[in-house]
């Protein structure tokens, strides 16, 4: 990092970030540590508040209002980052030839390098019936504000999806006094991440401890509004479920609209290499909108590693720094029944192996070991959950 402030700094073309979610702000902080002088502009369609998105699924049980989740407002972040933050500003197009972005009011902004941190949006599934009246989703702070209002007067909530968000919201709402039914096409909770025996135990424990009603291996076929103001859900197993509302948590879809319109290569997300560079050498992407070297990974920890790599490459003016994910632990935010896991395919290139499971009552330790008995991944639940750092250290030291 240079200690000499360049002349005419205000006249230099800025680094531009589109998006003020965790990816945008985490990268902006990494960039400022590496380069304190180059002008920085962050463009966001919302109010630019900095908050922890993972807190959305547990904030209600902690009795936190939406305002209490805000760590810093846009003005504070602008001061901390020595940046210009354009709030309530919707980017409608990227002009790669002219190196500009355009807003919905027709104005443009020039960039030297552009970073896409556009995030993802809730996946929309097609369901027959009164979906608009019955359903909501929570993907940002604005959604959470509406969600708290939406919950007023409701007693029985159905949750679509049994992934991380769906399971955490199910726990949150049940502990807050709501009757909760989870409707999922998966055979057990967290089926994308953990083995069947771990998922089945999680399902059993959250039913026993929290009263969560699990409707697994089924899909929602239709929603019918009832005279009493509630809704009847029509499920694929021919059963019905009467609820006051439906929270959709069936997953996210990368927000690639701008990238696609600009002609960038996309797949599940904006395709970038291990240096975070897109198919345009002056445009980069990270966070939920990016598919990094074939991996679309919607977790928080990878954002930190991506941000450090990208900051180094932009400061150096090359694409030589390459991303290598270390083993990462993901902790399910269900305090009643703790669970932590490390996905084998995220920790290292997956090799042939098998899950070895130790279980005592409602507590389980599942270890994925390769043919050489090296630990590659794990799931720990209940009283075993405190062992996650010991197991992580074994992976990283092998």
Q: Which domains does the chain have, with CATH numbers?
A: 9-121+252-316 (3.50.50.60), 124-248 (3.50.50.60), 338-397 (3.30.390.120)
Question: Tell me: the pLDDT tens digits for 316-327?
Answer: 999 999 999 888
Distances (CA, A) of 106 to 55, 90, 91, 140: 36, 10, 10, 27
In three-state secondary structure terms, 330 is: strand
CB 276 within 8 Å of CB 189: no
pLDDT for residue 182: 98
Is the torsion defined by CA of 290, 295, 299, 301 positive or negative? negative
The pairing of beta strand 375-381 with beta strand 363-370? antiparallel
Question: Tell me: the pLDDT tens digits for 220-268?
Answer: 999 999 987 899 999 999 999 999 999 999 999 999 999 999 999 999 9
Q: Residues of the chain with pLDDT > 90: what percent?
A: 84
Neighbours of 9 (CB within 10 A): 11
Nearest to 120, CA basis, from 289, 273, 277: 289
Mean pLDDT of 138-158: 94
DSSP string, 155-186: -EEEEE--SHHHHHHHHHHHHTT-EEEEE-SS
Does pLDDT of 1 surpass 50? no
Neighbours of 159 (CB within 10 A): 28
Mean pLDDT of 323-340: 94
Does pLDDT of 390 surpass 80? yes
**Per-residue DSSP letter, 322:** -
**Per-residue DSSP letter, 295:** B
- CA-angle at 75, arms to 70 and 78, nearest 5°: 105
pLDDT for residue 348: 45
Confidence of residue 132 (pLDDT cuts 50, 70, 90): confident
The pairing of beta strand 220-225 with beta strand 128-129? parallel
Could you give the strand order of the β-sheet that contains 339-342, starting from the edge strand earlier in sequence?
330-332, 339-342, 375-381, 363-370, 353-360
Mean pLDDT of 340-353: 68
CB 120 within 8 Å of CB 230: no
Question: Tell me: the pLDDT tens digits for 75-114?
Answer: 999 999 999 999 999 999 999 999 999 999 999 999 999 9
CB 299 within 8 Å of CB 331: no
The pLDDT mean for the chain works out to 92
Does pLDDT of 346 surpass 50? no
pLDDT for residue 345: 55
Mean pLDDT of 48-73: 92
Neighbours of 90 (CB within 10 A): 12
Does pLDDT of 9 surpass 50? no
CB 136 within 8 Å of CB 147: yes
Confidence (pTM): 0.92
């Amino acid at each position: 990092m240079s200690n000499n402030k360049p002349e005419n700094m205000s006249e230099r073309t800025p680094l531009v970030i589109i998006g003020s979610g965790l990816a945008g702000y985490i990268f902006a902080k990494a960039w400022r540590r590496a380069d304190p002088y180059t002008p920085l502009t962050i463009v966001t369609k919302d109010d630019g508040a900095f908050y922890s998105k993972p807190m959305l699924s547990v904030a209600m049980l902690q009795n936190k209002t939406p305002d209490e989740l805000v760590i810093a407002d846009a003005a504070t972040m602008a001061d901390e980052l020595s940046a210009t933050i354009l709030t309530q500003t919707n980017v409608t197009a990227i002009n790669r030839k002219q190196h500009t972005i355009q807003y919905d009011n027709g104005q443009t902004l020039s960039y030297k390098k552009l970073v896409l941190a556009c995030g993802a949006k809730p996946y929309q599934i097609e369901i027959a019936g009164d979906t608009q009246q019955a359903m909501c989703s929570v993907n940002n702070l604005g959604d959470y504000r509406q969600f708290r209002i939406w919950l007023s007067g409701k007693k029985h909530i159905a949750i679509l999806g049994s992934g991380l968000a769906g399971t955490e919201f199910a726990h949150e709402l049940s502990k807050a006094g709501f009757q909760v039914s989870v409707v999922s096409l998966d055979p057990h909770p967290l089926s994308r991440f953990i083995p069947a025996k771990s998922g089945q135990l999680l399902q059993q424990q959250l039913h026993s401890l929290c009263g969560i009603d699990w409707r697994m291996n089924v899909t929602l076929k239709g929603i019918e509004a009832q005279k009493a103001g509630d809704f009847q859900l029509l499920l694929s197993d021919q059963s019905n479920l009467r609820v006051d509302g439906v929270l959709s948590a069936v997953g996210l879809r990368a927000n690639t609209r701008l990238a696609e319109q600009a002609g960038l290569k996309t797949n599940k997300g904006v395709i970038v290499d291990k240096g975070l560079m897109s198919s345009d050498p002056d445009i980069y992407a990270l966070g939920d909108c990016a598919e990094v070297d074939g991996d679309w990974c919607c977790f928080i920890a990878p954002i930190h590693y991506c941000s450090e790599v990208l900051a180094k490459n932009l400061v150096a003016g090359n694409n030589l720094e390459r991303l290598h994910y270390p083993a990462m632990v993901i902790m399910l935010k269900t305090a009643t029944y703790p669970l932590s896991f490390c996905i084998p395919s995220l920790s290292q290139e997956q090799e042939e192996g098998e899950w070895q499971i130790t279980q005592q009552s409602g507590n389980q330790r599942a270890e994925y070991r390769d043919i050489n008995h090296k630990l590659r991944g794990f799931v720990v639940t209940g009283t075993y959950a405190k062992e996650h750092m010991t197991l992580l250290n074994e992976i990283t030291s092998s």
